[in-house]
């Protein structure tokens, strides 16, 4: 594998994978502590119909409509879940299950219908992404990183992912205190005058944004792994909030890099020609890291057990 081959084939997918993992791990920390891990499950299922609807309405596969569509779908699903919980007095897990499976089913059918118009989305891509295809044909070698012409040929998904990751990081950083307080003690936060409901919705919306951006890379189902596994593993390593977030970013990066490398080069090392699914491998590696943390992590049993 020469430098040029690496830059053309692997550099961009690696970077996108790492950014996607980071963008998901950040809000995932808070979702985990709020016992809303399964909202990640819900979001990643509803992102599909959001994107499809946006595509049908706007007529093209472009970033902004997709983001809006997915954000809209996330908020619609939250509203529906809330409505079902209150009105039917249904327990939250079941309410989520009803809404996200129905919305996902709707999304798939819409997708199949629109297949006739020759669109670039297809169901399998939606389920497990397409990281390997994000090649940089103009990346003629390491020198391409400073070559204006070559940089213009970068896949647009990279810029998109970078912007979203930055936005997620800004959100987390700026609202850090409010997020921590409202996650720890919602009633107390309310008495401080913090807009607890708005924060909750904003967290979900940001997670949805991350899910959409990551969708292209790893598809909708595997995004859940990125929301949950690195933060969960981090939870088992430390008792400090800032430590947990740091560990989660480390684990996310490791999962993305190791996952991609194993998927891309593993088969080659074993003598086969093609690669296996990078997204699937990233999720698997994230799971293995979680398993190791669950077996050996210093804080795996929690405080009470000390």
Give the residue, chosen from 19, 164, 236, 249, that forms a contact with other proteins under the rule CB under 8 A. 236
Options 67-75, 150-158, 201-209, 227-235: segment touching other proteins (CB under 8 A): 227-235
Q: According to the binding rule CB under 8 A, does residue 221 interact with other proteins?
A: yes
CA atoms of 195 and 201, how far apart (whole Å): 10
Q: According to the binding rule CB under 8 A, does residue 296 interact with other proteins?
A: no
Of 83 and 145, the one with the shorter C-beta distance to other proteins is: 83
Give the residue, chosen from 10, 77, 172, 244, that forms a contact with other proteins under the rule CB under 8 A. 244
Q: Provide the minimum distance between the beta carbon of 150 and other proteins in the complex, in angstroms, as a whole number.
A: 30
Q: Provide the minimum distance between the beta carbon of 14 and other proteins in the complex, in angstroms, as a whole number.
A: 18
Please list every residue from 139 through 198 that binds other proteins, using CB under 8 A: 174-178, 180-181, 183-188, 190-194
CA atoms of 57 and 51, how far apart (whole Å): 10
Q: Provide the minimum distance between the beta carbon of 146 and other proteins in the complex, in angstroms, as a whole number.
A: 35
Q: According to the binding rule CB under 8 A, does residue 200 interact with other proteins?
A: no
Q: Provide the minimum distance between the beta carbon of 75 and other proteins in the complex, in angstroms, as a whole number.
A: 19
Q: According to the binding rule CB under 8 A, does residue 228 interact with other proteins?
A: yes
Q: According to the binding rule CB under 8 A, does residue 134 interact with other proteins?
A: no
Options 66-74, 162-170, 202-210, 286-294: segment touching other proteins (CB under 8 A): 286-294
Q: Provide the minimum distance between the beta carbon of 286 and other proteins in the complex, in angstroms, as a whole number.
A: 7
Of 154 and 206, the one with the shorter C-beta distance to other proteins is: 206
Q: Provide the minimum distance between the beta carbon of 37 and other proteins in the complex, in angstroms, as a whole number.
A: 4
Q: Provide the minimum distance between the beta carbon of 7 and other proteins in the complex, in angstroms, as a whole number.
A: 24
What DSSP line would sit under the chain, residue for residue?
--HHHIIIIIIHHHHHHHHHHHHHHHHHHHHHHTT-HHHHHHHHHHHHHHHHHHHHHHSS--HHHHHHHHHHHHHHHHHHHHHHHHHHT--HHHHHHHHHHHHHHHHHHHHHHHGGG--S--HHHHHH--GGG---TT--SGGGGG-HHHHHTS-HHHHHHHHHHHHHHHHHHHTHHHHHHHHH-HHHHHHTT--HHHHHHHHHHHHHHHHHHHHHHHHHHHHHHHHHHHHHHHHTT-S-HHHHHHHHHHHHHHHHHHHHHHHHHHHHHTT-SS---HHHHHHHHHHHHHHHHHHH-TTTT-STT-
Give the residue, chosen from 241, 246, 258, 261, that forms a contact with other proteins under the rule CB under 8 A. 241
CB atoms within 10 A of CB 146: 8
Give the residue, chosen from 11, 15, 16, 36, that forms a contact with other proteins under the rule CB under 8 A. 36
Q: According to the binding rule CB under 8 A, does residue 222 interact with other proteins?
A: yes
CA atoms of 158 and 206, how far apart (whole Å): 18
Of 7 and 96, the one with the shorter C-beta distance to other proteins is: 96
Please list every residue from 91 through 110 that binds other proteins, using CB under 8 A: 91, 93-98, 101-102, 104-106, 108-109
Give the residue, chosen from 30, 215, 227, 251, that forms a contact with other proteins under the rule CB under 8 A. 227
Q: Report yes or no: 214 and 226 within 8 Å, Cβ to Cβ.
A: yes
Q: Identify the CA nearest to 259 among candidates 221, 225, 231.
A: 225
């Amino acid at each position: 594998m020469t430098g040029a081959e690496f830059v053309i084939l692997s550099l961009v997918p690696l970077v996108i994978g790492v950014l996607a993992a980071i963008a998901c791990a950040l809000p995932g920390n808070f979702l985990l502590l709020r016992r809303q891990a399964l909202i990640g499950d819900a979001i990643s299922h509803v992102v599909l119909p959001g994107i499809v609807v946006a595509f049908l309405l706007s007529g093209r596969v472009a970033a902004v409509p997709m983001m809006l569509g997915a954000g809209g779908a996330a908020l619609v699903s939250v509203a529906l879940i809330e409505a079902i919980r209150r009105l039917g007095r249904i327990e939250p897990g079941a309410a989520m299950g009803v809404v996200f499976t129905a919305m996902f089913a709707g999304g798939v059918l819409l997708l199949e219908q629109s297949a006739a118009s020759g669109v670039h989305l297809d169901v399998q891509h939606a389920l497990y992404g397409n990281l390997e295809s994000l090649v940089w044909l103009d990346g003629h070698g390491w020198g391409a990183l400073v070559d204006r012409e070559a940089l213009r040929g970068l896949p647009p998904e990279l810029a998109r992912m970078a912007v979203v990751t930055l936005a997620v990081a800004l959100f987390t950083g700026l609202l850090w205190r409010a997020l921590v307080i409202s996650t720890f003690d919602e009633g107390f936060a309310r008495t401080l005058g913090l807009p607890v409901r708005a924060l909750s919705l904003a967290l979900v919306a940001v997670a949805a944004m991350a899910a959409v951006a990551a969708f292209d890379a790893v598809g909708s189902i595997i995004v859940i792994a990125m929301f949950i596994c690195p933060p969960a593993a981090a939870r088992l390593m430390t008792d400090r909030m800032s430590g947990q977030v740091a560990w989660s970013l480390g684990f996310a990066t490791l999962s993305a890099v190791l996952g991609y490398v194993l998927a891309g080069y593993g088969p080659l090392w074993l003598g086969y020609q093609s690669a296996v699914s990078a997204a699937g491998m990233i999720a698997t590696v994230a799971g293995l890291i979680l398993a190791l943390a669950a077996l050996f992590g210093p804080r795996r049993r929690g405080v009470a057990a000390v």
